[in-house]
Amino acid sequence: MSRKIFIGARIFDGERFHDDKALVVADGRIETIAGLNDLPDGETITLDGGVLAPGFIDAQVNGGAGRMLNDEPSPASMYRIAEGHRPYGTTSLLPTLITDTGEATAAAIDAAKEAVKANRGVAGLHLEGPHLAPARKGAHLAELMRPVEDRDVKALSAAAEAIGTLLVTMAAEQVTARQVRELSEAGVTVSIGHSDCTSEAAEARFDAGARGVTHLFNAMSQLGHRTPGLVGAAIDHPAVWCGIIADGHHVDPKALRTALRAKRGEGKLFFVTDAMSLVGSAENSFTLNGRTVRRETGAFCSRLVLSDGTLAGSDVDMASAIRYGLTYLDLSLSEALRMATLYPARFLKLDDRGRLAPGLRADLVHMTDGIKVNQTWISGEPA
């Protein structure tokens, strides 16, 4: 048995903190959290203060380290994207393919089947399109958007079985409640997004099995006092999870604070980055579907825009999202960490990570008290 014993840092187990304790890892899995006077034999790893927590989990990552998944939907691209986000504490992510051709979608599915097996930080696949609403296209290409057909249900169901974790963003206008039910029963995690739907249409999809809403507030029908829209339905439905982009550009902090206070269902909001290729890259622009996206300086972090000013994904990383939550969203450190670990794990049904509990993966991040990442581990090995 290969055993590692981590000491010297506060331990956050995904739910609460442990002081003056040690984390014991055996063969890449969590063995226990033990007292300092009751340690087994093993390699001792002494950390210089700070916090040791589960590795961050990001359900929506379009790119990183200079690579967009859409440019090359291959295992190599997925590994590179994951490596680009690892310095910021992310040990599990879903490479995200935005609206593209059927050929690109098939290639991404095939790539994810291989990449998930490699244990290099790729936990599944997120398909954000093509079943979105042109009225809420954002930076996606409207001409590639279309309704879900029965053949899509079969293909996505088969992909979920092969990949293990498949998240698909769909507009309520483009998928029926029956199709949502079939997809959900087949293991696909359905999230409603890029949708101009009514609250009633959204609720019908939620009741049929849609588990989430993609980047709450962005590219969706808004909350009105007589027309609650997708935002109102998402906040009101107790079973629905909502990803939020906490970068100071996508949503005003007052709106996020309101959603955090109002959301029915405990712990149902979690951080996503919606990151593009510039995270982990020194470049200041990239190409998206033939259009130039440029990086502009912002107060908290940079923002990414098309030539017409449309936001095109984010330039935020997960550690920065946590810092944003602490600074602007009135979050406690424990809740901000849960929004990057425990909650996305629960949403994606990644039951083997997101907590430091016996038998779970030893995916770890060590950071300073100011949430600057020092080191990450995947299955107990330095990453």
pLDDT category of residue 297 using cuts at 50, 70 and 90: confident
What mean pLDDT is predicted for residues 181-197?
98
Active site residues: 274
Q: Based on the domain organization, do 269 and 367 belong to the same domain?
A: no
Total domains, the chain: 2
* Residue 327 buriedness (CB in 10 A; 0-12 / 13-18 / 19+): middle
Helix (H) or strand (E) holding 342: helix 342-348
Q: Omega of the bond prior to 130 within 30 degrees of 0, cis? A: yes
Predicted confidence at residue 38, as pLDDT, reads: 87
Q: Based on the domain organization, do 174 and 249 belong to the same domain?
A: yes
The residue behind tokens 């954000």 is 128
Q: In this structure, is residue 352 part of a structural domain?
A: no
Q: Which of 65, 71, 72 is nearest to 93 (CA)?
A: 65
User: d(Cα 274, Cα 322) in Å, to the nearest integer?
Assistant: 14
Predicted confidence at residue 298, as pLDDT, reads: 87
pLDDT category of residue 47 using cuts at 50, 70 and 90: very high
Q: In this structure, is residue 349 part of a structural domain?
A: no
Q: Based on the domain organization, do 109 and 23 belong to the same domain?
A: no
User: d(Cα 295, Cα 284) in Å, to the nearest integer?
Assistant: 5
DSSP H helix total and E strand total for the chain: 10, 24
Q: In this structure, is residue 298 part of a structural domain?
A: yes
Q: Based on the domain organization, do 34 and 142 belong to the same domain?
A: no
CA angle (34 as vertex; 28, 36 as ends), nearest 5:
120
CATH number, domain with residue 157:
3.20.20.140
Say if residue 299's pLDDT is above 90.
Answer: no
Helix (H, G, I), strand (E, B) or coil at 270: strand
Q: Based on the domain organization, do 151 and 190 belong to the same domain?
A: yes
Q: To the nearest 10°, report the CA torsion of 23, 28, 30, 33.
A: -10
To the nearest whole number, what is the mean pLDDT of the chain? 97
Q: Based on the domain organization, do 315 and 373 belong to the same domain?
A: no
Residue 104 main-chain phi, psi, to 5 deg: -65, -40
Q: pLDDT for 228-264, tens place per residue? A: 999 999 999 999 999 999 999 999 999 999 999 999 9
Q: Based on the domain organization, do 147 and 29 belong to the same domain?
A: no
Q: In this structure, is residue 48 part of a structural domain?
A: yes
User: d(Cα 193, Cα 218) in Å, to the nearest integer?
Assistant: 8
Q: Based on the domain organization, do 191 and 301 belong to the same domain?
A: yes
Say if residue 380's pLDDT is above 90.
Answer: yes
pLDDT category of residue 266 using cuts at 50, 70 and 90: confident
Say if residue 135's pLDDT is above 90.
Answer: yes
Q: Assess contact for 365 and 58: CB atoms under 8 A.
A: no
Q: Based on the domain organization, do 42 and 112 belong to the same domain?
A: no
Q: Based on the domain organization, do 156 and 274 belong to the same domain?
A: yes
What's the distance, CA 104 to chain centroid?
21
User: d(Cα 240, Cα 256) in Å, to the nearest integer?
Assistant: 16
Q: In this structure, is residue 348 part of a structural domain?
A: no
pLDDT category of residue 103 using cuts at 50, 70 and 90: very high
Q: Based on the domain organization, do 19 and 129 belong to the same domain?
A: no
* Residue 352 buriedness (CB in 10 A; 0-12 / 13-18 / 19+): middle
Q: In this structure, is residue 351 part of a structural domain?
A: no
Q: In this structure, is residue 335 part of a structural domain?
A: yes
Q: Which residue range forms the structural domain that includes residue 67?
A: 58-342
pLDDT category of residue 290 using cuts at 50, 70 and 90: confident
What mean pLDDT is predicted for residues 2-17?
98
Q: Which of 73, 143, 82 is nearest to 103 (CA)?
A: 73
What mean pLDDT is predicted for residues 299-319?
93
Q: Based on the domain organization, do 295 and 330 belong to the same domain?
A: yes
CATH number, domain with residue 48:
2.30.40.10
Predicted confidence at residue 105, as pLDDT, reads: 98
Q: In this structure, is residue 347 part of a structural domain?
A: no
